[in-house]
Amino acid sequence: MLPSDNKSAVQLVVHPAWILPIIPRGEVLSEHSLVVQQGRIAALLPTPEAEQIEAEQHVHLPSQVLMPGLVNAHGHSAMSLLRGVADDAPLLSWLQDHIWPLEAHFVSEEFVADGTDLALAELLLGGTTTLSDMYFFPEVTAQRIQSAGMRAQLVFPIIDVETAWARDSDSCLEKGLALRDDYRDDDLVDVGFGLHATYSVSEATLRKVSTLTNELDAPMQIHLHETRGEVQSAVEATGERPVALLDRLGLLGPRSQCVHMTSLSSEDIQRLVDNNSHVVHCPRSNMKLASGICPVHRLHQAGVNVALGTDGAASNNRLSMLAELQSAALLAKLEQHEATALPAGSALEMATLGGARALGLEDKVGSLEVGKLADMIALDLSGVNTQPLSNIMSQLVYATTGSELTHSWIAGRCLVNEGRLTTLDLNTITARAGRWPEKFRAHQANH
């Protein structure tokens, strides 16, 4: 029951067909309801008892499963505008011949606003409630995320080359630290450091970031070991593997999020274990760019926390965390030649609590436990592709198409209601995004 001395009004009671709380592991509740008070989960109760509660709103979801909102731990939202401009190309050619030239010409506040809105709409409709974002003009991204009402970790980009946002890495740090100050007490937006990669940031800059992140106890995210070629080039040039370089410079720690992590030796994995560092696995981007495979099964066995990310829409090309967790589960089995690798329950935990842990938000979100913020989604499992319901977790991981989402709440605020966005105008967003491909084509034709 609700504590009787708690006088504040009950905001919301949700009565779904099932609740998948993630913690306790493997549990699926039926005939239970979830009570929200002041943005937090106040109770999980048998439905007949919850029906009696006086609340501002009761929501009945007779064919839905209620679960924690999905945490997309790595992405570049604004790159949604570049979806489909350069497909079927390997990473370095994709970056150097296609993406970077377009970014050099087009990235601006307007580009970031239009691309971010498009991404946020897709993310919300796909069940993501928390995202991590690394892109230029993060102050614009932060405003867009605030107006959408989503939860985010923004890792401001740090790269040694001049961009439209900053002339060099010192300027990135100056602007990023100012943004971190601006959002110091924000409920929804956290700001951390986003190192592009060890091949695009000098050791001097890495040292500065190490000092700052350690002083500030701030999150740091980096693309690391994205391809075997990246690791080989580093070893040929310096004799040191990228993850060893970070370890030596004090950049591996409990707030470090290493994105991609393919081509890992046992020694590399031991460094992650010793430093309590996190891995963000982006299976669809890795497959599409033929980058390599992150050994999720071995990382889990070693005790490393693994989160899941879509990466940007230019290399995925979807921002669907359901597609991502399905891909992760399938790829882990193939990589390991072992069908028991990354079972459905573990994949779901990776997409929720694993992401929350990586982003330092595990006390707030990632599971439906009393006291946590009411960041949650409802998925309708009555469709033909998820019937019959032999196993809720299996259907979620292996049978969903991404169109099942009906509701999404962040801290108890409804952002998707019966499949419709409540804070974003989809027609305006797609119209604004639709103006860009013609500009890209004209530019590509002239260069």
Question: Binding residues for Zn ion, per CB under 5 A?
Answer: 311
Q: For Zn ion, give the closer residue by CB, 122 or 311.
A: 311
Whole-angstrom distance, CA of residue 317 vs CA of residue 312: 7
Pair of tokens at residue 346: 């573990």
The residue with its CB nearest to Zn ion is: 311
Least Å from the CB of residue 235 to Zn ion: 22
Least Å from the CB of residue 101 to Zn ion: 18
Q: For Zn ion, give the closer residue by CB, 256 or 400.
A: 256
Whole-angstrom distance, CA of residue 15 vs CA of residue 19: 9
Least Å from the CB of residue 193 to Zn ion: 15
Least Å from the CB of residue 289 to Zn ion: 10
Pair of tokens at residue 341: 């690798």
Q: For Zn ion, give the closer residue by CB, 99 or 381.
A: 99
| Long-range Cβ pairs for the range 97-101 (8 Å, 24+) | 99/314, 101/447
Least Å from the CB of residue 311 to Zn ion: 5
Q: For Zn ion, give the closer residue by CB, 72 or 205.
A: 72
Whole-angstrom distance, CA of residue 121 vs CA of residue 288: 23
Q: For Zn ion, give the closer residue by CB, 247 or 311.
A: 311
Least Å from the CB of residue 285 to Zn ion: 7
Name residue, tokens 């305006």: 428
Question: Would residue 314 be called left, alpha or beta, if left means φ above 0 and alpha means ψ between -120 and 50 degrees?
Answer: alpha
Closest CA to 35 of 53, 62, 23, 17: 53
Whole-angstrom distance, CA of residue 50 vs CA of residue 187: 28
Kindly give the residue spans of alpha helices, DSSP state H, lying in 46-99.
47-50, 91-93
Name residue, tokens 């592991």: 25
Q: For Zn ion, give the closer residue by CB, 42 or 91.
A: 91
